[in-house]
Amino acid sequence: MHEIKCPKCGEVFQVDDSGYSELLSQVRNEAFEEELHKRALELEDRNKSAIKMAQMEQEKSFAETITGKDKEIANKDMEIEQLKNKLAMGDSEKKLAVSDALRDKDKEVADYQAEIIKLKSQIENQKAESALKEKSIEENYQNQLKAKDEQINYYKDFKARQSTKMVGESLEQHCQNQFNSIRMTAFPNAYFEKDNDVSASGSKGDFIFKEADEEGTEFISIMFEMKNEMDTTATKHKNEDFFKELDKDRNEKGCEYAVLVSLLESDNEYYNNGIVDVSYKYPKMYVIRPQFFIPMITLLRNAARNSLQYQKDLQVIKNQQLDLVNFETNMQEFKDAFGRNYRLASEKFQTAIDEIDKTIDHLEKVKKALQSSENNLRLANDKADDLSIKKLTKNAPSVRQMFDDLKDGEE
Protein backbone atom coordinates (compact mmCIF):
# COMPACT_ATOMS: atom_id res chain seq x y z
CA MET A 1 0.00 0.00 0.00
CA HIS A 2 1.13 3.59 -0.73
CA GLU A 3 0.20 6.78 1.16
CA ILE A 4 -0.64 9.87 -0.89
CA LYS A 5 -1.17 13.35 0.60
CA CYS A 6 -3.51 15.80 -1.10
CA PRO A 7 -1.58 19.03 -1.84
CA LYS A 8 -4.75 21.16 -1.35
CA CYS A 9 -6.59 19.77 1.71
CA GLY A 10 -3.67 17.89 3.28
CA GLU A 11 -5.68 14.71 3.64
CA VAL A 12 -3.64 11.47 3.56
CA PHE A 13 -5.18 8.41 1.91
CA GLN A 14 -3.85 4.98 0.89
CA VAL A 15 -3.97 3.23 -2.51
CA ASP A 16 -2.93 -0.27 -3.59
CA ASP A 17 -0.15 -1.04 -6.13
CA SER A 18 -2.44 -1.12 -9.18
CA GLY A 19 -4.08 2.17 -8.23
CA TYR A 20 -0.71 3.74 -7.53
CA SER A 21 0.62 2.61 -10.96
CA GLU A 22 -2.48 4.04 -12.64
CA LEU A 23 -2.02 7.40 -10.87
CA LEU A 24 1.64 7.51 -11.88
CA SER A 25 0.68 6.76 -15.50
CA GLN A 26 -1.90 9.58 -15.44
CA VAL A 27 0.63 12.02 -13.95
CA ARG A 28 3.24 10.98 -16.55
CA ASN A 29 0.74 11.41 -19.42
CA GLU A 30 -0.42 14.83 -18.12
CA ALA A 31 3.19 15.97 -17.74
CA PHE A 32 3.96 14.71 -21.23
CA GLU A 33 0.94 16.51 -22.71
CA GLU A 34 1.85 19.71 -20.81
CA GLU A 35 5.47 19.54 -22.02
CA LEU A 36 4.32 18.84 -25.60
CA HIS A 37 1.94 21.84 -25.50
CA LYS A 38 4.70 24.02 -24.03
CA ARG A 39 7.12 23.05 -26.80
CA ALA A 40 4.45 23.69 -29.42
CA LEU A 41 3.87 27.24 -28.08
CA GLU A 42 7.64 27.87 -27.99
CA LEU A 43 8.00 26.70 -31.59
CA GLU A 44 5.08 28.88 -32.69
CA ASP A 45 6.57 31.93 -30.93
CA ARG A 46 9.96 31.32 -32.55
CA ASN A 47 8.32 31.08 -36.00
CA LYS A 48 6.37 34.31 -35.51
CA SER A 49 9.46 36.12 -34.18
CA ALA A 50 11.53 34.96 -37.17
CA ILE A 51 8.84 36.14 -39.63
CA LYS A 52 8.44 39.51 -37.86
CA MET A 53 12.21 39.99 -37.84
CA ALA A 54 12.40 39.28 -41.59
CA GLN A 55 9.58 41.80 -42.25
CA MET A 56 11.31 44.43 -40.12
CA GLU A 57 14.57 43.94 -41.99
CA GLN A 58 12.78 44.27 -45.35
CA GLU A 59 10.92 47.42 -44.26
CA LYS A 60 14.19 48.88 -42.94
CA SER A 61 15.88 48.19 -46.27
CA PHE A 62 13.06 49.85 -48.23
CA ALA A 63 13.03 52.82 -45.81
CA GLU A 64 16.74 53.34 -46.33
CA THR A 65 16.21 53.25 -50.10
CA ILE A 66 13.42 55.83 -49.91
CA THR A 67 15.51 58.04 -47.60
CA GLY A 68 18.34 57.96 -50.13
CA LYS A 69 15.99 59.03 -52.87
CA ASP A 70 14.65 61.86 -50.70
CA LYS A 71 18.21 63.09 -50.20
CA GLU A 72 18.75 63.05 -53.94
CA ILE A 73 15.55 65.12 -54.43
CA ALA A 74 16.68 67.59 -51.77
CA ASN A 75 20.02 68.00 -53.55
CA LYS A 76 18.22 68.56 -56.83
CA ASP A 77 15.96 71.15 -55.18
CA MET A 78 19.04 73.01 -54.00
CA GLU A 79 20.46 72.98 -57.48
CA ILE A 80 17.14 74.31 -58.85
CA GLU A 81 17.11 77.15 -56.36
CA GLN A 82 20.64 78.08 -57.36
CA LEU A 83 19.66 78.05 -61.04
CA LYS A 84 16.57 80.15 -60.31
CA ASN A 85 18.75 82.72 -58.58
CA LYS A 86 20.99 82.88 -61.63
CA LEU A 87 17.91 83.13 -63.88
CA ALA A 88 16.73 86.14 -61.93
CA MET A 89 19.96 87.88 -62.88
CA GLY A 90 18.84 87.87 -66.51
CA ASP A 91 21.34 85.47 -68.00
CA SER A 92 19.65 83.79 -70.97
CA GLU A 93 22.05 80.87 -71.01
CA LYS A 94 21.39 80.33 -67.37
CA LYS A 95 17.66 80.47 -68.06
CA LEU A 96 18.10 77.79 -70.69
CA ALA A 97 20.20 75.68 -68.32
CA VAL A 98 17.56 76.12 -65.61
CA SER A 99 14.87 75.13 -68.09
CA ASP A 100 16.83 72.00 -69.04
CA ALA A 101 17.48 71.25 -65.38
CA LEU A 102 13.80 71.65 -64.58
CA ARG A 103 12.91 69.32 -67.42
CA ASP A 104 15.47 66.76 -66.22
CA LYS A 105 14.23 67.26 -62.69
CA ASP A 106 10.64 66.60 -63.73
CA LYS A 107 11.75 63.44 -65.51
CA GLU A 108 13.76 62.28 -62.50
CA VAL A 109 10.82 63.02 -60.20
CA ALA A 110 8.51 61.06 -62.49
CA ASP A 111 11.01 58.19 -62.61
CA TYR A 112 11.43 58.35 -58.87
CA GLN A 113 7.69 58.30 -58.28
CA ALA A 114 7.41 55.30 -60.60
CA GLU A 115 10.22 53.57 -58.69
CA ILE A 116 8.52 54.38 -55.38
CA ILE A 117 5.29 52.86 -56.70
CA LYS A 118 7.26 49.79 -57.83
CA LEU A 119 8.99 49.49 -54.45
CA LYS A 120 5.68 49.87 -52.62
CA SER A 121 4.22 47.16 -54.84
CA GLN A 122 7.21 44.90 -54.05
CA ILE A 123 6.75 45.62 -50.35
CA GLU A 124 3.07 44.68 -50.57
CA ASN A 125 3.91 41.51 -52.54
CA GLN A 126 6.59 40.52 -50.07
CA LYS A 127 4.25 41.20 -47.17
CA ALA A 128 1.64 39.00 -48.84
CA GLU A 129 4.30 36.37 -49.55
CA SER A 130 5.50 36.53 -45.94
CA ALA A 131 1.95 36.15 -44.74
CA LEU A 132 1.49 33.11 -46.97
CA LYS A 133 4.78 31.64 -45.74
CA GLU A 134 3.77 32.30 -42.15
CA LYS A 135 0.43 30.64 -42.77
CA SER A 136 2.12 27.72 -44.52
CA ILE A 137 4.64 27.29 -41.68
CA GLU A 138 1.84 27.45 -39.14
CA GLU A 139 -0.26 24.92 -41.09
CA ASN A 140 2.75 22.64 -41.51
CA TYR A 141 3.50 22.88 -37.80
CA GLN A 142 -0.12 22.17 -36.95
CA ASN A 143 -0.10 19.17 -39.29
CA GLN A 144 3.11 17.86 -37.70
CA LEU A 145 1.68 18.41 -34.25
CA LYS A 146 -1.52 16.68 -35.29
CA ALA A 147 0.42 13.76 -36.76
CA LYS A 148 2.48 13.57 -33.56
CA ASP A 149 -0.68 13.53 -31.46
CA GLU A 150 -2.26 10.91 -33.72
CA GLN A 151 0.87 8.77 -33.51
CA ILE A 152 0.99 9.08 -29.72
CA ASN A 153 -2.71 8.27 -29.46
CA TYR A 154 -2.26 5.36 -31.88
CA TYR A 155 0.45 3.74 -29.82
CA LYS A 156 -1.38 4.44 -26.57
CA ASP A 157 -4.49 2.82 -28.01
CA PHE A 158 -2.34 0.12 -29.60
CA LYS A 159 -0.90 -0.86 -26.21
CA ALA A 160 -4.19 -0.49 -24.34
CA ARG A 161 -6.00 -2.90 -26.67
CA GLN A 162 -3.41 -5.67 -26.50
CA SER A 163 -2.95 -8.43 -23.97
CA THR A 164 0.55 -8.95 -22.57
CA LYS A 165 0.99 -12.03 -24.76
CA MET A 166 -0.07 -10.35 -28.00
CA VAL A 167 1.82 -7.05 -27.68
CA GLY A 168 5.02 -8.29 -29.34
CA GLU A 169 3.09 -10.23 -32.00
CA SER A 170 1.03 -7.16 -32.93
CA LEU A 171 4.17 -5.04 -33.34
CA GLU A 172 5.60 -7.71 -35.66
CA GLN A 173 2.37 -7.71 -37.69
CA HIS A 174 2.42 -3.91 -37.82
CA CYS A 175 5.97 -3.86 -39.26
CA GLN A 176 5.18 -6.66 -41.68
CA ASN A 177 2.12 -4.81 -42.97
CA GLN A 178 4.20 -1.64 -43.44
CA PHE A 179 6.77 -3.52 -45.50
CA ASN A 180 4.23 -5.47 -47.58
CA SER A 181 2.40 -2.26 -48.47
CA ILE A 182 5.45 -1.02 -50.43
CA ARG A 183 7.19 -4.31 -51.19
CA MET A 184 6.42 -4.43 -54.94
CA THR A 185 7.21 -0.77 -55.59
CA ALA A 186 10.23 -0.16 -53.36
CA PHE A 187 11.71 -3.65 -52.78
CA PRO A 188 10.61 -5.94 -55.66
CA ASN A 189 13.71 -8.18 -55.40
CA ALA A 190 13.91 -8.28 -51.60
CA TYR A 191 13.39 -11.17 -49.18
CA PHE A 192 11.53 -10.30 -45.96
CA GLU A 193 10.18 -13.22 -43.98
CA LYS A 194 9.80 -14.54 -40.43
CA ASP A 195 12.88 -16.24 -39.00
CA ASN A 196 11.49 -19.71 -38.33
CA ASP A 197 14.85 -21.50 -38.29
CA VAL A 198 15.76 -22.16 -34.65
CA SER A 199 19.55 -22.14 -34.21
CA ALA A 200 21.59 -24.73 -32.36
CA SER A 201 21.44 -22.51 -29.26
CA GLY A 202 17.62 -22.62 -29.35
CA SER A 203 16.99 -18.98 -30.32
CA LYS A 204 15.86 -17.07 -33.41
CA GLY A 205 15.09 -13.51 -34.49
CA ASP A 206 11.74 -12.16 -35.66
CA PHE A 207 12.37 -11.18 -39.30
CA ILE A 208 15.22 -11.39 -41.82
CA PHE A 209 15.60 -8.90 -44.69
CA LYS A 210 17.86 -9.70 -47.65
CA GLU A 211 18.27 -8.23 -51.14
CA ALA A 212 20.38 -9.14 -54.18
CA ASP A 213 21.14 -7.37 -57.45
CA GLU A 214 20.07 -8.47 -60.92
CA GLU A 215 22.98 -10.93 -61.09
CA GLY A 216 21.94 -12.61 -57.86
CA THR A 217 24.72 -11.10 -55.73
CA GLU A 218 23.46 -10.47 -52.20
CA PHE A 219 24.49 -7.02 -50.96
CA ILE A 220 22.44 -6.46 -47.77
CA SER A 221 21.05 -8.61 -44.94
CA ILE A 222 19.36 -7.44 -41.72
CA MET A 223 18.20 -9.37 -38.64
CA PHE A 224 15.14 -7.68 -37.03
CA GLU A 225 13.87 -8.12 -33.48
CA MET A 226 10.57 -6.49 -32.35
CA LYS A 227 10.06 -5.73 -28.64
CA ASN A 228 7.10 -4.20 -26.79
CA GLU A 229 5.33 -4.48 -23.44
CA MET A 230 2.23 -3.19 -21.67
CA ASP A 231 2.46 0.05 -19.68
CA THR A 232 1.00 -1.80 -16.67
CA THR A 233 3.56 -4.61 -16.78
CA ALA A 234 5.21 -4.93 -13.37
CA THR A 235 8.67 -5.89 -14.65
CA LYS A 236 9.94 -3.28 -17.10
CA HIS A 237 12.55 -4.35 -19.64
CA LYS A 238 15.24 -2.15 -21.16
CA ASN A 239 16.34 -2.16 -24.77
CA GLU A 240 19.89 -3.17 -23.87
CA ASP A 241 18.53 -6.36 -22.24
CA PHE A 242 18.09 -7.78 -25.76
CA PHE A 243 21.34 -6.62 -27.45
CA LYS A 244 23.41 -9.73 -26.68
CA GLU A 245 20.76 -12.21 -27.90
CA LEU A 246 20.11 -10.16 -31.05
CA ASP A 247 23.83 -10.05 -31.87
CA LYS A 248 24.08 -13.83 -31.41
CA ASP A 249 21.09 -14.41 -33.73
CA ARG A 250 22.63 -12.08 -36.32
CA ASN A 251 25.91 -13.98 -36.32
CA GLU A 252 24.32 -17.44 -36.37
CA LYS A 253 22.11 -16.52 -39.34
CA GLY A 254 24.96 -14.76 -41.19
CA CYS A 255 23.28 -11.32 -41.34
CA GLU A 256 25.33 -8.14 -41.73
CA TYR A 257 23.17 -5.78 -39.63
CA ALA A 258 21.01 -6.14 -36.50
CA VAL A 259 18.05 -3.80 -35.80
CA LEU A 260 15.89 -3.73 -32.66
CA VAL A 261 12.42 -2.25 -33.34
CA SER A 262 11.30 -1.29 -29.85
CA LEU A 263 8.53 0.43 -27.91
CA LEU A 264 10.35 -0.19 -24.62
CA GLU A 265 11.46 2.76 -22.45
CA SER A 266 8.81 4.99 -24.02
CA ASP A 267 9.85 8.02 -21.92
CA ASN A 268 13.56 7.74 -22.77
CA GLU A 269 14.48 10.68 -25.04
CA TYR A 270 17.68 8.88 -26.12
CA TYR A 271 15.57 6.39 -28.07
CA ASN A 272 12.76 8.81 -28.98
CA ASN A 273 14.93 11.21 -31.00
CA GLY A 274 15.44 8.92 -33.99
CA ILE A 275 17.77 6.12 -35.11
CA VAL A 276 20.16 5.10 -32.33
CA ASP A 277 23.51 3.56 -33.26
CA VAL A 278 24.66 1.12 -30.53
CA SER A 279 27.64 -0.27 -32.46
CA TYR A 280 29.85 0.87 -29.59
CA LYS A 281 28.49 -2.22 -27.79
CA TYR A 282 27.73 -4.60 -30.66
CA PRO A 283 28.88 -4.12 -34.28
CA LYS A 284 26.39 -2.84 -36.86
CA MET A 285 23.46 -2.75 -34.41
CA TYR A 286 20.72 -0.07 -34.26
CA VAL A 287 17.64 0.65 -32.12
CA ILE A 288 14.61 2.37 -33.69
CA ARG A 289 10.99 3.20 -32.99
CA PRO A 290 8.38 1.62 -35.33
CA GLN A 291 7.98 4.85 -37.34
CA PHE A 292 11.61 4.52 -38.50
CA PHE A 293 11.21 0.89 -39.64
CA ILE A 294 10.93 1.58 -43.41
CA PRO A 295 13.42 4.54 -43.39
CA MET A 296 15.96 2.30 -41.62
CA ILE A 297 15.68 -0.42 -44.28
CA THR A 298 15.89 2.17 -47.06
CA LEU A 299 18.93 3.86 -45.51
CA LEU A 300 20.95 0.66 -45.03
CA ARG A 301 19.85 -0.79 -48.37
CA ASN A 302 20.76 2.29 -50.42
CA ALA A 303 24.14 2.61 -48.71
CA ALA A 304 24.91 -1.06 -49.37
CA ARG A 305 23.75 -0.82 -53.00
CA ASN A 306 26.00 2.20 -53.60
CA SER A 307 28.99 0.22 -52.32
CA LEU A 308 28.06 -2.88 -54.34
CA GLN A 309 30.18 -1.87 -57.36
CA TYR A 310 33.18 -1.31 -55.09
CA GLN A 311 32.59 -4.76 -53.60
CA LYS A 312 32.46 -6.26 -57.08
CA ASP A 313 35.67 -4.48 -58.10
CA LEU A 314 37.31 -5.67 -54.89
CA GLN A 315 36.10 -9.22 -55.56
CA VAL A 316 37.57 -9.07 -59.09
CA ILE A 317 40.91 -7.99 -57.61
CA LYS A 318 40.70 -10.78 -55.04
CA ASN A 319 39.89 -13.30 -57.77
CA GLN A 320 42.83 -12.04 -59.83
CA GLN A 321 45.11 -12.37 -56.83
CA LEU A 322 43.69 -15.83 -56.18
CA ASP A 323 44.27 -16.78 -59.84
CA LEU A 324 47.86 -15.55 -59.55
CA VAL A 325 48.35 -17.57 -56.37
CA ASN A 326 46.82 -20.64 -58.05
CA PHE A 327 49.05 -20.11 -61.10
CA GLU A 328 52.15 -19.86 -58.90
CA THR A 329 51.00 -22.92 -56.96
CA ASN A 330 50.41 -24.89 -60.17
CA MET A 331 53.78 -23.77 -61.52
CA GLN A 332 55.52 -24.84 -58.31
CA GLU A 333 53.71 -28.19 -58.37
CA PHE A 334 54.76 -28.68 -61.99
CA LYS A 335 58.36 -27.78 -61.15
CA ASP A 336 58.34 -30.14 -58.17
CA ALA A 337 56.78 -32.99 -60.20
CA PHE A 338 59.10 -32.36 -63.14
CA GLY A 339 62.13 -32.25 -60.81
CA ARG A 340 61.04 -35.45 -59.11
CA ASN A 341 60.52 -37.22 -62.45
CA TYR A 342 63.80 -35.84 -63.78
CA ARG A 343 65.61 -37.06 -60.67
CA LEU A 344 64.02 -40.51 -60.94
CA ALA A 345 64.79 -40.68 -64.68
CA SER A 346 68.35 -39.55 -64.04
CA GLU A 347 68.76 -42.18 -61.35
CA LYS A 348 67.31 -44.88 -63.68
CA PHE A 349 69.52 -43.67 -66.52
CA GLN A 350 72.63 -43.86 -64.33
CA THR A 351 71.59 -47.30 -63.15
CA ALA A 352 71.17 -48.42 -66.77
CA ILE A 353 74.60 -46.99 -67.65
CA ASP A 354 76.12 -48.82 -64.66
CA GLU A 355 74.43 -52.05 -65.76
CA ILE A 356 75.71 -51.53 -69.32
CA ASP A 357 79.20 -50.93 -67.95
CA LYS A 358 78.90 -54.11 -65.92
CA THR A 359 77.65 -55.99 -69.00
CA ILE A 360 80.55 -54.62 -71.06
CA ASP A 361 83.00 -55.77 -68.38
CA HIS A 362 81.37 -59.17 -68.35
CA LEU A 363 81.45 -59.40 -72.14
CA GLU A 364 85.11 -58.38 -72.10
CA LYS A 365 85.78 -61.19 -69.71
CA VAL A 366 83.75 -63.59 -71.90
CA LYS A 367 85.66 -62.28 -74.92
CA LYS A 368 88.98 -62.87 -73.24
CA ALA A 369 87.80 -66.32 -72.14
CA LEU A 370 86.70 -67.13 -75.68
CA GLN A 371 89.97 -65.84 -77.07
CA SER A 372 91.84 -67.97 -74.55
CA SER A 373 89.70 -70.99 -75.50
CA GLU A 374 90.43 -70.42 -79.18
CA ASN A 375 94.16 -70.39 -78.53
CA ASN A 376 93.94 -73.60 -76.53
CA LEU A 377 91.87 -75.23 -79.28
CA ARG A 378 94.50 -74.20 -81.85
CA LEU A 379 97.23 -75.69 -79.75
CA ALA A 380 95.18 -78.82 -79.24
CA ASN A 381 94.60 -79.03 -82.99
CA ASP A 382 98.29 -78.59 -83.66
CA LYS A 383 99.03 -81.29 -81.18
CA ALA A 384 96.43 -83.50 -82.78
CA ASP A 385 97.92 -82.88 -86.19
CA ASP A 386 101.37 -83.75 -84.88
CA LEU A 387 100.17 -86.99 -83.25
CA SER A 388 101.50 -90.33 -84.83
CA ILE A 389 101.75 -94.06 -83.95
CA LYS A 390 105.41 -93.65 -83.64
CA LYS A 391 105.13 -90.92 -81.04
CA LEU A 392 102.40 -92.78 -79.23
CA THR A 393 104.43 -96.00 -79.03
CA LYS A 394 107.70 -94.32 -78.36
CA ASN A 395 107.86 -95.56 -74.84
CA ALA A 396 105.66 -98.64 -75.43
CA PRO A 397 107.66 -101.20 -77.53
CA SER A 398 105.10 -103.96 -77.16
CA VAL A 399 102.31 -101.77 -78.43
CA ARG A 400 104.48 -100.59 -81.24
CA GLN A 401 105.18 -104.28 -82.17
CA MET A 402 101.46 -104.92 -82.24
CA PHE A 403 100.87 -102.01 -84.67
CA ASP A 404 103.75 -103.24 -86.81
CA ASP A 405 102.29 -106.79 -86.93
CA LEU A 406 98.91 -105.40 -87.90
CA LYS A 407 100.46 -103.36 -90.62
CA ASP A 408 102.41 -106.41 -92.01
CA GLY A 409 99.29 -108.55 -92.02
CA GLU A 410 97.43 -105.99 -94.06
CA GLU A 411 100.13 -106.11 -96.66
Question: Is pLDDT above 80 for 90?
Answer: no
Of 306, 340, 360, the residue that ends a domain is 306
Q: Is 101 helix (H, G, I), strand (E, B) or coil?
A: helix
In the listed set 277, 306, 335, which residue is the last one of a domain according to the structure? 306
Same domain, 180 and 241: yes
Phi, psi of 393 (to 5 degrees): -105, 20
pLDDT one-digit tens code per residue, 209-234: 999 988 888 899 999 999 987 655 56
Strand 207-212 versus strand 218-227 pairing type: antiparallel
Whether the CB-CB separation of 76 and 68 falls below 8 Å is answered with no
Q: Is residue 377 part of a domain?
A: no
136 and 231 assigned to the same domain: no
Do 141 and 183 fall into the same domain? no
Q: Is residue 320 part of a domain?
A: no
Query: Per-residue DSSP letters for 343-401?
Result: HHHHHHHHHHHHHHHHHHHHHHHHHHHHHHHHHHHHHHHHHHHT--HHHHTTT-HHHHH
Would you say residue 384 lies in a domain? no
Q: How many CA atoms lie within 13 A of 230 on its CB side?
A: 13
**Is 28 a domain residue?**
no
356 in a structural domain: no
**159-211 pLDDT tens trace:** 544 443 344 457 888 899 999 999 999 999 899 999 887 765 667 888 999 99
pLDDT tens readout for residues 39-60: 767 777 777 777 777 777 777 7
Over residues 59-81, the pLDDT tens digits come to: 777 677 777 777 877 777 787 77
- Model confidence pLDDT, tens digit, residues 232-262: 556 788 999 999 999 999 999 999 999 999 9
Question: Angle at Cα 197 formed by Cα 195 and Cα 201, nearest 5°?
Answer: 115
Residues 145 and 58 in one domain: yes
In this prediction, residue 163 carries a pLDDT of: 40
- Based on the domain organization, do 186 and 296 belong to the same domain? yes
Tell me if 122 sits within 8 A of 134, measured CB to CB.
no
Host H or E run for residue 253: none
Cα four-point dihedral sign 157, 159, 160, 165: positive
Question: What is the span of the domain harbouring residue 228?
Answer: 167-306
194 and 152 belong to one structural domain:
no
- Would you tell me the crossing angle of helices 167-186 and 92-160 to the nearest 10 degrees? 130
**270 part of a folded domain:** yes
What is residue 205's three-state secondary structure? coil
**Mean confidence (pLDDT) of the chain:** 76
Tell whether 302 and 180 lie within a shared domain: yes
Do 178 and 269 fall into the same domain? yes
Domain membership of residue 255 (yes or no) is yes
Whether 343 has a pLDDT exceeding 80, the answer reads: no
- Asked if residue 351 is part of any domain, the answer here is no
Q: How far apart are CA 406 and CA 411, in angstroms?
A: 9
Domain boundary among 262, 290, 306: 306
* Spatial CB neighbours of 312, under 8 Å, sequence gap ≥ 6: 217
Number of domains, the chain: 2
Same domain membership, residue 178 and residue 152 = no
CA–CA–CA angle 189, 194, 195 (5° rounding): 110
Residues 182 and 295 in one domain: yes
Residue 321 in this model has a pLDDT that exceeds 50: yes
Least confident of 317-321, 373-377, 386-390: 386-390
Band of residue 97 on the pLDDT scale cut at 50, 70, 90: low
* One domain for residues 202 and 265: yes
Give the residue with greater pLDDT, 12 vs 299. Answer: 299
CATH number of the domain that residue 196 is part of: 3.40.1350
176 and 271 both lie in a single domain: yes
Q: Give the pLDDT confidence score for residue 166 in this predicted structure.
A: 40
Helix (H, G, I), strand (E, B) or coil at 318: helix
